[in-house]
Amino acid sequence: MIVDLRKIFVNENSSMPIEYAFDMREVEVSGLFPLKQPVKFSGTVSNKASLVELKARISYLYEAPCDRCGVETAREHTVSVEKALAVSTESEESDGILLTPDRMLDLDELIYSEVVVDLPMKHLCKEDCRGICAKCGKNLNEGECDCPKKEIDPRLSALAELLK
Ligand SMILES: [Zn+2]
Ligand SMILES: [Zn+2]
């Protein structure tokens, strides 16, 4: 969606709320498509003393198997966006400044770039997920499995053989 901000730029002390949902189902992360629900954008563009600012929250649901135990897990993430909108910039410093030369804001592009860099590096069903047993494959969050907990030291088992 392209948002026309021309009125905001010319009218001091004006503001415009923006609510939007953006489809990012096509975004692939390691062979999966974790953004099954539309990404939500909720924000305001305001002009205060000729400084045009965008303040927004982007929230998205990340749905994928837990990295450790493989159980399908959905987690909500939010990104706060705070940017000054400018028609041009004199300084090299462009951090926090979003250039909108024609006073049009490409919301899809903004949401896409903010979400892509925010995607979780680690996706766990819970912080202390215990994962699955490497031997029997049991989900250890559901309880211990019957596999021996410690490998018997081979030297000790040789000794045990001798003592027989
Ligand atoms: Zn897990
Ligand atoms: Zn086991």
What separation in Å is there between the alpha carbon of 76 and the centre of ligand 1? 16
All residue ranges of the chain with pLDDT < 50 are: none
What separation in Å is there between the alpha carbon of 63 and the centre of ligand 2? 27
pLDDT score of 50: 84
What separation in Å is there between the alpha carbon of 50 and the centre of ligand 1? 50
pLDDT score of 33: 97
pLDDT score of 160: 67
CA distances, 71 to each of 31, 33, 123, 140, 154 (Å): 17, 16, 11, 12, 35
Which ligand sits closest to the CA of 135? 2
19-41 burial: b if 16+ Cβ within 10 Å, else e: ebebebeebeeeeeebbebebbb
